[in-house]
Structure 1
């Protein structure tokens, strides 16, 4: 439904847990949560803006995701479980809007995220039309709303340079990764970061083919998109471990084509076990 009884909770959309949302453990993965957040954003009704487009008074344009955060906070499953995504507007700028989102199962908070998007044409970002701003104003979340205020982060210059990273995972873009904007979709890029963390973890613990696969993917991502990743193309995912505590590892990642950094991510996931020289039994 698109008109919540409590406006402070944002627009509520029901989403079913699908097979593709599940991780190796049979529960929803962080990538699955990201899909639910995207699904909810796509289903928002912006009536004034849609009428403006229908009348041919705005466009052509592309919707570009410039940054997002997604966190898996509690296990969700199995297939068919209904989750409710609450979506509201945290901030409206001159050319961008930031959505705040929460994922609920009943009264339990199981996921959260935010996403900043811009409208752009071939010349760059476009000023948001008044009609769109009016639609977004109706979805504004209060300061203490369900999604919380997104933490402001400033990109450190060293994150853009290869010398900052200590581990590299090569990847090649696939035609199935390309979306209607003619670049690799942000969900596909998130799975690339998953791949790099998994490769690093397996290398760290010395797991061999056919052995038991540990719990690998991060449960939290904060991602910034700096340039377009296209098809065809050979890329590298860079990784360095920022810190390790009792139960988790904090990673800094980047996607590179040659010396050019096209995006960065901060991830938190399970702490890799120590490497063992003992052959698996």
Structure 2
């Protein structure tokens, strides 16, 4: 993992490191950092848009996260440490926009990510109102070719089919995972991917009950949400290993209900000795 010493432009929000954010190594997990990014996005003020909604001139609508990326670049912690999350806007389209974010501890970048958001009603995505676009324009980050290319990610069609994957973990949605949109929250779904990687790792090394469990959670995720995961429901998280490097493993994952793929993810994490059939 690499943590360049620089700081992006954008709106800064201070976030305390909570005990629940820490992984088994005592520093913030990738899932913990995803919570910080969400916390910072929620705390942004979109004053023109909020006024428009408050006056009843836009809606009803839902705010939907259709894709996100989060990377843990360096250790952050312990609990009680305050980190700074910098948030700006990388892209504004007709019906979606993309936040860019970095997590800093002092002058050191320890994590980052982005999130693509749409506003939708029962008929599908809505065109962004001028008031929201004006609010987002005030948070614009310098546009880059990389940001422009990643604005509309394309999921390879083979990733939507069960035959692409070689390993399966059954999971059931829990009522505590359901958010105000009445579907399973994206943080809970990211934790499902963590569960699948852990189960696959244990099976790969032939671990039995009571054995020491290797600490190999992914340090980066790129996730695309394709459909609603609801409660109650029985699901499967699919996994296949795309590549194994000297010190890392690249996983391809998907969430399925029967034959329907509801989301896919790419994850990169550490390679443990003896894991992944190597």
Q: TM-score, normalised by structure 2?
A: 0.93
Q: Distance in 2 between matches of 1:273 and 1:96?
A: 42
- The equivalent of 2:216 in structure 1 is 216
- The equivalent of 2:30 in structure 1 is 30
1:20 Cα offset (Å): 1.1
1:154 Cα offset (Å): 2.4
| SS of aligned partner of 1:194 | helix
Query: Does residue 142 in structure 1 map to residue 142 in structure 2?
Result: yes
- The equivalent of 1:260 in structure 2 is 260
| SS of aligned partner of 1:9 | coil
1:119 Cα offset (Å): 0.3
- The equivalent of 2:202 in structure 1 is 202
1:216 Cα offset (Å): 2.0
Could you say what the CA RMSD is over the residues aligned between the two structures, in angstroms?
A: 1.7
Contact 1:256 1:263 in 2 (8 A): yes
- The equivalent of 2:56 in structure 1 is 56
| SS of aligned partner of 2:251 | strand
Alignment CA distance shift 1:91-1:74 (3 Å): same
Q: Distance in 2 between matches of 1:192 and 1:137?
A: 34
Contact 2:8 2:86 in 1 (8 A): no
1:24 Cα offset (Å): 1.3
Q: Distance in 2 between matches of 1:211 and 1:247?
A: 23
Q: Distance in 2 between matches of 1:250 and 1:275?
A: 13
Q: Which runs of 5+ in 2 are unaligned?
A: 1-6
Q: Distance in 2 between matches of 1:122 and 1:26?
A: 43
1:35 Cα offset (Å): 0.2
Q: Which runs of 5+ in 1 are unaligned?
A: 1-6, 277-281
1:206 Cα offset (Å): 1.6
- The equivalent of 1:249 in structure 2 is 249
- The equivalent of 1:186 in structure 2 is 186
- The equivalent of 2:232 in structure 1 is 232
Q: Distance in 1 between matches of 2:222 and 2:103?
A: 17
| SS of aligned partner of 1:239 | strand
Q: Distance in 2 between matches of 1:164 and 1:150?
A: 29
Query: Does residue 100 in structure 1 map to residue 72 in structure 2?
Result: no
Contact 1:172 1:233 in 2 (8 A): yes
1:143 Cα offset (Å): 3.0
Q: TM-score, normalised by structure 1?
A: 0.92
Q: Distance in 1 between matches of 2:81 and 2:108?
A: 13
> Which deviates more from structure 2 when the two are superposed, residues 51-60 or residues 101-110?
51-60
| SS of aligned partner of 1:265 | strand
Query: Does residue 123 in structure 1 map to residue 123 in structure 2?
Result: yes
| SS of aligned partner of 2:101 | strand
Query: Does residue 72 in structure 1 map to residue 72 in structure 2?
Result: yes
- The equivalent of 2:171 in structure 1 is 171
Contact 2:237 2:256 in 1 (8 A): yes
Contact 2:91 2:143 in 1 (8 A): no
| SS of aligned partner of 1:32 | helix
**CA displacement, residues 59-84 of structure 1 (integer Å, 9 cap, x when unaligned):** 11100000000000000110010000
| SS of aligned partner of 1:196 | helix
Contact 1:18 1:80 in 2 (8 A): yes
